[in-house]
Amino acid sequence: MDMEQVYTSNFKVGAYPFYEHLRKTNPIFAMNEQNAQASWMVTKYDHVKELLKSPSFIKDQSKLFSNQNEENDSGEPNLFGNMMLDVDPPDHTRLRKLVQPSFNPKTIKHLAPRIEQIAEELLDDIQDKSEPVDLIEDYAFPLPIIVISELLGVPTEDRNKFRKWSNTILAAQDEMNQDFIQDVEAFTQYLTELFEKGSAHPEEDLVSQLIESQEDGDKLSRNELYSMVVLLIIAGHETTVNLIGNTMHALFEHPAQLEQVKEDHQLISGAIEEGLRYYSPVDFSTARWAGEDMEFHGQSIRKGDFVMASISSANRDEEKFEQADSFNITRERNAHVAFGFGIHFCLGAPLARLEGKIALEKLLERFPNINLDASRPSPQWRRVFLLRGLDSLPVQL
Ligand code: HEM
């Protein structure tokens, strides 16, 4: 199998048996042996943690064969050039420090009443709806995008634009594609106007704080400002929608556990953790590059090779998790790596967990008889390589 097949087949359907086969036979898997620069997929739990923690695998490819910093602050702003997720220390440390306080568990806890209110409002709309309900479209998508938009200070009514742009960006296989170019231009233009407004009339929100950091001088460059906001918008909703959708999907597939959760909402936190492990919303880590020639668990990896971790595979590793292919909301010691590991460990994990918990609590409180709508086509996985999420999840209330 090569990357092209991964993109073109509906890979998600048979992914778990495929990963199991790799873990047993070829755990550091060469995805494109014929190319000069090899691409590797790491599939075992322990190896994935080692990869994500090791400074020998680096994020900033531009530093591999030269010591120059590629950033160019002249001309058009670059949405992706200087993302926190794509850089190494010391830049990573500096960027993460700027946003970490806004995402600490203590800070995030204060958002609970507002998240509950948003959930209730969405459920009111669902209750009033005459058409069939799609849990993704009507609930799992709007909830996190409204929360992250409010936190950042971007207008929530623009959420469908963000959805379109991030869809195009995440699905992009070819950066010369016309849709990709157009959507990136539109997103850039949108942010330029947002930053101009934010600079003239600062508010108490995170975008205003970031603009201030940029204007203050050396804390944040212009490209870093753009790519930070793009990262937070995309990571803030594309993932949590899947957490809510995938966990409900797994519960519908396991009706006895769904009944248990309906009867005892204390089980919801365990269901969320098991949802993260069983149908991990982020299937793969983002790219890393080997910073030097090395041996990695029996494979010779050369400097510059592309290496990625299969988070979904690690989370189903039978050497780590008992009955790894079983969904079990009361699983003990569920040390999954759904939020990654090491210095790039998910910034939004406390927020995602809180949103997931509130989303399920409020949904099951309002609609205790909720079930999958078996009269409509069965849920399909979206064809997005990095993520595992459903296109739609039709339900009966
Ligand atoms: C269920 C929901 C989520 C999952 C499964 C998830 C998963 C991940 C994973 C696996 C990584 C590490 C990627 C790598 O090392 O290559 C990551 C990083 C990140 N996530 Fe999340 N994420 C979720 C929600 C969020 C939310 C709500 C935010 C909102 C701010 C967010 C922001 C970020 C950021 C900024 C990073 C990069 C951190 C860094 O480079 O230091 N994520 N996430």
Residue 27 Cα, ligand 1 centroid: separation in angstroms? 24
CB 279 within 8 A of CB 388: yes
pLDDT per position as a tens digit, 154-176 = 888 998 888 889 888 887 766 67
Residue 206's pLDDT is: 92
Mean pLDDT, residues 313-331? 98
Half-sphere exposure of 139 (CA within 13 A, CB side): 34
pLDDT range class, residue 393, cuts 50, 70, 90: very high
CA distance 143 to 115: 8
C-alpha distances in Å from residue 44, one per residue of 113, 194, 221, 303: 39, 43, 38, 22
Residue 231 Cα, ligand 1 centroid: separation in angstroms? 9
Ligand 1 atom at minimal distance to the Cα of residue 286: 16
- Res. 2: pLDDT tops 90: no
Q: Which domains occur in the chain, in start order? A: 3-62+79-396 (1.10.630.10)
Please give the model's pTM, rounded to 2 decimal places: 0.94
Mean pLDDT, residues 144-163? 90
pLDDT per position as a tens digit, 10-44 = 778 889 999 999 999 999 999 876 666 789 999 99
Residue 103 Cα, ligand 1 centroid: separation in angstroms? 11
Residue 82's pLDDT is: 82
239 lines ligand 1 (CB under 6 A): yes
Mean pLDDT, residues 48-54? 98
- Res. 339: pLDDT tops 90: yes
- Res. 8: pLDDT tops 60: no
Residue with tokens 């231009």: 185
- Name the residue of 239, 280, 353 to mutate for ligand 1: max ligand atoms within 8 A of Cβ: 239
240 lines ligand 1 (CB under 6 A): yes
CB 227 within 8 A of CB 82: yes
Residue 291 Cα, ligand 1 centroid: separation in angstroms? 23
> Mean pLDDT, the chain, as a whole number?
90
